[in-house]
Every structure is written in C-alpha cells, then in structure tokens.
C-alpha cells in the first residue's frame, strides 16, 4: 500500500494517538442509541492493547462549533467503550495541554484513555498547525481509524500525520478494500442514489460512465425530473443542481421513478395517494416511490452483480412513507450481488429493517464513502501517504 498499516509498525511501549470516529447518535435522554461506530474500532484498539501500546483515543461528537457543550462530552462514550472492551477506559477532561500530557505520561503499556471532544476547540476544524502539533506532542505514533472523517481536512485527520510516523487502522483498511469493489465493480453495476439532500450531484456525474443502471430517487430524483421538465409539486429540490442535472439526465443509464406516493404534508397523519410521476398534485410532496417503480427497481436489482446504495428513496422514518425503501432494501438483501452501502441514512434504514447481516459492507462514513467512490482524493489518505514518505 502507499501508506503504512498496523502490521508495519512496532507499537511495544509506544504512546499511540488514535483518531477514531465515535460520533455516535445520542438520544433525548443523553444515551447512546447506536454504538456501531464504537464497535467497528475495537479490532484496532484491541490490537494496540495486545501489542503493549498506550492507546490514546481522540474523536469528535456532534457539532459544538468550537465551544464546550456539556451534552457533547465524551464521558458516555468512554463508559460504553469500557463495557465493549471489558477494560476500564480513562476519560480525560481535554485533548491538548500540559495536564493532558501529564496524564498520558502516567499511563502504562496496554492502558487506554479517551480525550475530550476535539471540536470543543475551533482549531480542530480549522486544521490549525499549532493545534495539530499540540495533539502530536505527547505521542510517538499516529493511527487513523476514523474512516468517517477521512474526507475532512481537519487537524486530527490531516494535520497530526505531518508530525508523527503514521498508519491506517483496521477499519480504514477494511473500508477502502470494500469500497474499491464499487470503484471497480463486477458488471452489471447498479447505483442507487437518493436521500434528502442534493449533495450527491457530483457522484451522479462520476457514476454515469461506470454504472450500467443509475437509479435516482428522493431529492436527486426530484432534481432529475425537473431537469427533464417534469413538475414535482412542492417536493424538495435544488435549482442549481437542476442546471447540472441537465448535463446527464438524458443518459439511457438514468432510471427515474415512474410513479410515486404523494402526500399533502410530511406527517404520519398526512393524506396520501399513488400517482404517475408526471401528475404530482401542485401543492403535494413526493414522499416515496410507487409500486410500478418498486417492481422495476426489484427487477434491476435481481440482475445486478454489484450494487452501490447511498440514500433511501423515501422518507422511511415515517412508517406510511417507508414501503419503497423497505422493498428496495429487502430486494438487495435477497440479491447475490456484492452490496455496498454508503453509510448515512441508508445504513439507518437497513438497521431499522434488521437486514444488516445480508449486506456485503455497510460503511461507517456517508460523506467519506461517497467521496471515495466518486474518485476524489481524501485528505486523510493523502496525509497517511505523505507521512510514510516523510517517516518511512
């Protein structure tokens, strides 16, 4: 590989700074509602413990915008990690400074500590060199196992590797190896892009030459329909993205909804009806794909050998709007194809329908997986490559 992995480095008695992605969902009671991202980091952490390193973990949680937010402290994360590791995890009250350095220096080989929320400091997202040096100052080696942040040029991602010998953790390795199956797919290759945002428009452009079939639903479907001159009622759209969509919407590879579930509002009590896609009532909203579209999509899924899915085609969080997403997920689960899921809402839908074990890979990073499959250079990977050149 162009960068080092865990197997390339001797960790014995070394202080190892590990960037993990413990940005887990927190419910209204302040409890962790899904610990998958913590569990995915366990192989790397256990490897470091086994090889007698001092493991110093760092992560962000939520969006505190450079300020201390009590509800976003890492204490609950440390508690959950302790239970999963079956080993006490020491939680520190900051992530840089003399006190942190003193605390880390007292740790023994095989011990684990978790630093406070990185984003309590605005310098983290600003990729401030001084902040990166501060993070690196008490460590011997840096490990990036936070795939979900690899597309961010932040201090803990792309800054620290400039000052320490660095490598990728097991999760990052696994993510890249699995996502490469979508970069170099077995044919026929189906790409399903949907969701509530227009931020995948560049991915569509990148996938048109690679995919055999490219299904667009959700907001992306609305955008493509508008680009073809088909009205979408009051459905969410993006006029700048519509201009871009006109460049590729005529491709025969693009598959758009033929019918839809329309609603007069986004609510469990909303009035709904199935209508042909060109007949969405003026003041109504597209909330899911219709039965004709579901049947067509199921047929394409069945014939595909590789599937990349990013974004649910309906507002699946509301039960009466979830039929299309559930049908697509179940069809993929039954398929013998390589099934790669780009994290985010798609992963949430799969978890809701209890289908996780039926997919080849579910990424821990929505934005990072999309950027990587799209072919963009990820700052986190670039930093690891440059660190290998610098330190060997």
Q: What is the pLDDT of residues 341-389, one digit of tens each?
A: 998 899 999 999 999 999 999 999 989 999 999 999 999 999 999 999 9
Per the domain annotation, does 367 fall within a domain? no
User: 228 and 110: one domain?
Assistant: no
CB 254 within 8 A of CB 227: no
Q: Is residue 252 part of a domain?
A: yes
Q: How many CB atoms lie within 10 A of CB 172?
A: 30
Q: Record the pTM.
A: 0.93
> Are 224 and 82 in the same domain?
no
Burial class (CB in 10 A: 0-12, 13-18, 19+), 170: buried
Same domain, yes or no: 157 and 213: no
Q: Specify if 366 maps to a domain.
A: no
Count of CB atoms within 10 A of residue 273's CB? 12
368 inside domain: no
Cα angle 318, 324, 328 (rounded to 5 degrees) comes to 125
Reported as a single tens digit per residue, the pLDDT across 103-136 is 999 999 999 999 999 999 999 999 999 999 999 9
Task: Give the span between the Cα atoms of 366 and 167, in whole angstroms.
Answer: 22
CA distance 277 to 280: 6
Which residues are the active-site residues? Answer: 37, 197, 344, 367
Question: Do 276 and 348 fall within a single domain?
Answer: yes
Residue 149 and residue 272: Cα distance in Å, rounded? Answer: 39
Q: Is 185 a domain residue? A: yes
Residues 182 and 374: their CA atoms lie apart, in Å, by 10
Question: How crowded is residue 377: how many other Cβ atoms within 10 Å of its Cβ?
Answer: 11
Pairing of strands 89-91, 112-114: parallel
pLDDT score of 28: 86
Domain count within the chain: 2
Q: What is the pLDDT of residue 344?
A: 85
Same domain, 105 and 233: no
Does 201 lie in the same domain as 118? no
117 falls within a domain: yes
Residue 250 sits in the same domain as residue 385: no
Listed as ranges, residues in the chain with pLDDT below 50 are none
Q: Is residue 149 domain-resident?
A: yes
**Longest CA–CA separation in the chain, Å:** 68
- The CATH number given to whatever domain includes residue 299 is 3.40.50.1260
The domain of 294 spans 177-359
- Alpha carbon of residue 359 to chain centroid: 16
**110 and 80 within one domain:** yes
Task: Indicate if 107 and 188 belong to the same structural domain.
Answer: no
Phi, psi of 390 (to 5 degrees): -80, -45
CA distances from 33 to 24, 36, 64, 70, 176 (A): 8, 10, 19, 18, 26
189 in the same domain as 119: no
**Cα-only R_g, the chain:** 22
Let me know whether 387 and 349 are in one domain: no
Query: Does 124 map to a domain?
Result: yes
Asked if 127 and 190 sit in the same domain, the reply is: no
């Amino acid at each position: 590989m162009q960068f080092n992995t865990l197997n390339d480095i001797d960790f014995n008695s070394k202080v190892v700074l590990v960037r993990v992605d413990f940005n887990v969902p927190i419910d209204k009671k302040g409890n962790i509602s899904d610990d998958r991202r913590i569990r995915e980091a366990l192989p790397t952490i256990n490897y470091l413990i086994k090889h007698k390193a001092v493991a110093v973990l760092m992560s962000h949680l939520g969006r505190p915008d450079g300020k201390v937010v009590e509800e976003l402290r890492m204490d609950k994360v440390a508690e959950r990690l302790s239970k999963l590791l079956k080993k006490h995890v020491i939680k520190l009250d900051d992530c840089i400074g003399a006190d942190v350095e003193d605390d880390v220096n007292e740790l023994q080989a095989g011990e684990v500590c978790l630093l406070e929320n990185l984003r309590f400091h605005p310098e983290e997202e600003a990729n401030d060199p001084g902040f990166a040096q501060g993070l690196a100052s008490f460590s011997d080696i840096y490990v990036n196992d936070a795939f979900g942040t690899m597309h961010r040029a932040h201090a803990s991602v792309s800054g620290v590797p400039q000052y320490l010998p660095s490598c990728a953790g097991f999760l990052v390795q696994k993510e890249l190896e699995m996502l490469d199956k979508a970069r170099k797919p077995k044919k026929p290759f189906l790409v399903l892009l949907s969701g509530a945002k227009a931020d995948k428009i560049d991915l569509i452009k990148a996938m048109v030459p690679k995919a055999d079939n490219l299904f667009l639903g959700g907001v992306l479907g609305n955008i493509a329909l508008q680009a073809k001159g088909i009205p979408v009622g009051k459905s969410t759209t993006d006029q700048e993205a519509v201009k871009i969509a006109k460049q590729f919407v005529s491709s025969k590879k693009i598959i758009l909804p033929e019918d839809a579930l329309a609603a007069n509002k986004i609510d469990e009590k909303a009035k709904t009806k199935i209508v042909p896609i060109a007949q969405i009532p003026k003041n109504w909203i597209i909330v899911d794909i219709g039965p004709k579209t579901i049947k067509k999509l199921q047929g394409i899924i069945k014939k595909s050998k590789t599937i990349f899915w990013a974004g649910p085609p309906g507002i699946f969080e509301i039960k009466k709007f979830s039929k299309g997403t559930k049908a697509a997920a179940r069809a993929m689960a039954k398929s013998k194809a390589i099934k790669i899921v780009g994290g985010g809402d798609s992963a949430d839908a799969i978890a809701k329908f209890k289908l996780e074990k039926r997919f080849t890979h579910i990424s821990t990073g929505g934005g990072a997986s999309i950027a990587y499959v799209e072919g963009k250079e990820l700052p986190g990977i670039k930093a690891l490559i440059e660190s290998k050149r610098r330190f060997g």
